[in-house]
Structure formats: structure tokens, C-alpha cells
A and B are shown apart, each in its own frame.
Chain A
């Protein structure tokens, strides 16, 4: 079974631009979560979607948004990029949003903001 796929793998943007990252979950998984990883802040939870509904949101500004489609694929969007948004963005999928639904991670999208 194919794992979680994320596209693109690498992205370079300039300040003020916006960016959209895509995540395709493991087949049959209906929950998708997003995390930001930076050297300074570590791994931080962004948000989680299940059945096209946002179930949880982390402490990030409104510039960070996401959505989930009926086929469980998810996108996250960052508007008005700042230098501090440079990070590895990781997507994880799980069967559902329950506490015992293990999250499996994709390889990430490396975003560099210049």
C-alpha cells in the first residue's frame, strides 16, 4: 500500500507570496494532520481534518489554512509568507481522528522563504 505522498517536495518563495501544499493520505485513511518542523520550534501541530471538517487547530496565525476534499486529500495554504515560515511541513494520515488511530507521516515539503 502506498504511503503518504506530499507535493511538491521542495519549494522556494519570496516574502509576501502565498503557497499551497498538497497531501495524499494512505488509501482508506480519512484523517489528515499537518505539522510544521523548524530547528527553533521543533514539531508543531497545525491542524487536523476528518471528513472534510477541521477537528483541531494549533496555535498558528490565520495566514495558515487548510482544507480536505471528499477523497480525503488535503491542502494547506500559507498566505503573505514571512521568513519565519521557512520550514519542513509534514502531513500525516490516520484511519480516523481517534486517539488510537496512529498517524503515518509523509516525507514532507521543504519550504524556503526568501
Chain B
């Protein structure tokens, strides 16, 4: 069965510093990969997605992620973090099975931004 691991439960960075959130997946076929962000009391907002092609994908809010098949990773990066980026970030892998689609999520990484 597919699984997603986000090894960092909490990360604290200073405003203006660079950010990298790690995500590793376990999946037998070509994965469909996503990063979502959740602010307190809110639903999930899609940051970016990877289906195929260029392994470096750009998303909203200045985020990017790189798919590395050899490392089974899909790490999220941002060159300069803003205080408003403080939130919880979820990596997910999509599985198409039984004629339907389901997402398997990692446990999330809580990002704190110090001013």
C-alpha cells in the first residue's frame, strides 16, 4: 500500500530564511504527488502538484517542489519565508483505484515563522 512520510513534525524558521519541507513516499507506480497547506481552522489549499514531466514544479505563494524518483522524495521549498507562511503543510500521494481517486496524506509538518 502507498504511504507518505513527513519526517519533520515541527519546523521553525526565521522570516526571510529559506525553507525545505521533506516528503518521502512509498508507491509502486508513477506517483501523483501534491502539497497542501492548512491554516488554523481552515480546509486544505493546494500549493502544487506533480503528475509527470519536468521534475521541478512551481506552485502558488512562491513555493516549488522537486520530484526525485531515485530518492522517492518530493520536497517542498521556498527561498524566502514570510510570516504568513506559518501553517501546517501536508504532502499527499494520489492513488487511482477501483475507478476512483483517493489521496493518502503524510502526518503533516507544522511550520512556525519567527519574526
Please report A residues at the B interface, Cβ cutoff 8 Å: 4, 31, 33, 35, 42-43, 45, 48, 50, 55-56, 58, 90, 92, 94, 97-108
Contacts and interface: CB of A to CB of B under 8 A. Distances in A.
Interface stretch (B14-22, B39-47, B72-80): B39-47
B100 A103 contact: no
Nearest to A31: B101
Interface residues of B, number: 28
B102 interface: yes
A94 B100 CA distance: 11
Contacts of A97: 96, 99-101
Nearest to B99: A55
A99 B96 CA distance: 5
- Ranked 4 nearest A-B pairs via Cβ: A55-B100, A99-B96, A56-B100, A43-B105
Interface of B: 32, 34, 36, 41-46, 49, 51, 90, 92, 94-108
A101 B101 contact: yes
* Chain B facing A: main interface SS: strand
Contacts of A100: 32, 51
A106 B106 CA distance: 19
Contacts of B45: 105
Given A98-B96, A102-B49, A105-B36, A56 B101 contact: yes
A50 B102 CA distance: 12
Contact of A107 (B32, B43, B49, B105): B43
Contact of B42 (A31, A43, A94, A107): A107
B94 to A, nearest CB: 5
Contacts of B106: 42
Contacts of B105: 42-43
